[in-house]
């Protein structure tokens, strides 16, 4: 298995980057434009996924990297929960 030398090579980081792009596209139009609180919260949570993976990659230990991956996973769950809020408020549809 090849060694990963850059955080950009981590598949999870690449997926998180796609998530950020999708969340920004979704929240910069329609009902989200005026819902500043929800928009800012979901954008911040999505960006947090990506940045915690990158930040954890630069740690000096696997234990610390795993801690940052846990934070990234929890931010992903936050995005998921906020999408339910968006669904329940009519900002998005299933």
Among 17-21, 30-34, 41-45, 70-74, the range scoring the smallest mean pLDDT is 30-34
Extended beta strands in the chain, E state:
none
Domain extent for 39: 10-88
Reduced to 3 DSSP states, what percent helix, strand and coil does the chain have, rounded to the nearest 5? 80, 0, 20
Task: Give the domain CATH number at 64.
Answer: 1.20.1440.60
For residue 56, which of 47, 73, 68 has the smallest C-alpha distance? 68
Instruction: Read off the pTM.
Output: 0.92
Q: What is the mean pLDDT of residues 65-72?
A: 98
pLDDT at 21: 98
d(CA 18, CA 12): 10
Residue 14 lies in a domain: yes
pLDDT at 3: 86
pLDDT at 24 over 60: yes
Residue 29 lies in a domain: yes
Category of 30 on φ-ψ map: left (φ > 0), alpha (ψ -120 to 50) or beta: left
Average pLDDT of every residue of the chain:
95
Residue 4 lies in a domain: no
Category of 16 on φ-ψ map: left (φ > 0), alpha (ψ -120 to 50) or beta: alpha
d(CA 31, CA 16): 24
């Amino acid at each position: 298995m090849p060694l990963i030398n850059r955080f950009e090579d981590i598949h999870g980081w690449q997926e998180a980057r796609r998530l950020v792009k999708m969340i920004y596209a979704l929240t910069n139009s329609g009902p989200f434009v005026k819902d500043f609180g929800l928009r800012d919260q979901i954008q911040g949570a999505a960006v947090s996924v990506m940045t915690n993976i990158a930040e954890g990659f630069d740690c000096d230990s696997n234990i610390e990297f795993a801690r940052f991956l846990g934070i990234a996973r929890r931010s992903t769950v936050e995005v998921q929960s906020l999408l339910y809020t968006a669904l329940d408020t009519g900002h998005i549809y299933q």
